């Protein structure tokens, strides 16, 4: 019995030593699980940091992912003063701007659509504008300049007569008519139709020399008797035109 105890003490280490060795060997696999991420533990020589996304973390815009709109969901801003179905007419005033061209570029051009339905732009470019939408006119302007004059150019057309609705288009009839004043311009209008819209002539109205004064100051004259026989003598009336029936002399 004494011999067996001696052999055990010499051949095997004490049980306490085995347990201690196992405990310290496992220390290399221990890790620190922070129970409070908002205020993490700071080891000696380290400064405490706040985890990103915690309530106490300072807001950093750079950490946010950019928001990208889904295709087709962004609303299209309306064109200034015009809807897609509005068409330009004689007498309307438009502003044409030019971009995406080399310096010194071109200054914006303000044009009134002439009686021949056309406008004239830099480099003597003449185009028909009446009867077209803004989008159609922009395409025509670009085709006239690219590639004949510029390699690239983007035109922009805005109307100073907006909104282009019949309620906003007017002309004026004055003098010896039964209902003188401002009348709405609805569709195609001629001098004889305009006088009819104003109630017709008074008994003193001079029919042989009806004055048609354009918005640009031009003066034309219409003979009612000739216009009755020949429609070509019945001149067209455009928005903002002024018709004056003089008093006849006996």
Q: Which residue has the higher pLDDT, 235 or 5?
A: 235
Sheet with 109-112, strands from edge to edge, namely: 109-112, 93-99, 154-159
Assess whether pLDDT exceeds 90 at residue 212.
yes
The average pLDDT across 178-198 equals 88
Closest CA to 185 of 198, 200, 202, 199: 198
Contact present, 205 and 245 (Cβ < 8 Å): yes
**Percentages helix, strand, coil for the chain, rounded to the nearest 5?**
25, 20, 55
**Pair type for strands 170-175 and 242-245:** parallel
Contact present, 107 and 121 (Cβ < 8 Å): no
User: Could you identify the residue written with the tokens 């701007």?
Assistant: 97
Assess whether pLDDT exceeds 90 at residue 78.
no
Closest CA to 108 of 98, 123, 99: 98
Give me the pLDDT at residue 164, please. Answer: 47
Assess whether pLDDT exceeds 70 at residue 191.
yes
Per-residue confidence band for 79, with pLDDT thresholds at 50, 70 and 90: very low
Look up the pTM and report it. Answer: 0.43
Contact present, 157 and 141 (Cβ < 8 Å): yes
- CA 47, CA 218: separation in Å to the nearest integer? 85
Assess whether pLDDT exceeds 80 at residue 126.
yes
The two three-digit tokens of residue 167, written as one number: 């309620």
């Amino acid at each position: 019995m004494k011999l067996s105890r001696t052999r055990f003490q010499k051949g095997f280490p004490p049980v306490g030593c085995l347990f201690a060795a196992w405990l310290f060997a496992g220390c290399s696999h221990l890790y620190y699980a922070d129970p409070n991420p908002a205020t993490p533990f700071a080891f000696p020589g380290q400064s405490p940091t706040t985890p990103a996304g915690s309530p106490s973390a300072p807001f950093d815009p750079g950490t946010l992912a950019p928001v990208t709109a889904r295709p087709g969901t962004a609303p299209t801003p309306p064109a200034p003063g015009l809807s897609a179905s509005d068409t330009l007419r004689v007498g309307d005033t438009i502003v044409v701007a030019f971009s995406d061209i080399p310096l010194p570029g071109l200054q914006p051009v303000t044009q009134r659509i002439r009686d021949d339905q056309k406008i004239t732009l830099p480099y003597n470019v003449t185009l028909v504008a009446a009867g077209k939408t803004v989008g159609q006119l922009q395409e025509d302007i670009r085709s006239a300049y690219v590639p004949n004059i510029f390699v690239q150019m983007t035109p922009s057309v805005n109307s100073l007569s907006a909104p282009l609705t019949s309620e906003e288009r007017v002309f004026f009839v004055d003098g010896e008519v039964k209902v003188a004043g401002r009348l709405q311009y609805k569709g195609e209008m001629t001098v004889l139709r305009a006088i009819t819209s104003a109630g017709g002539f008074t008994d003193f109205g001079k029919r042989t020399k009806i004055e048609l004064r354009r918005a640009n100051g031009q003066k034309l004259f219409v003979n009612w008797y000739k216009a009755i026989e020949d429609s070509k003598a019945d001149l067209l009336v455009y928005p903002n035109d002024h018709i004056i029936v003089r008093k006849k002399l006996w």
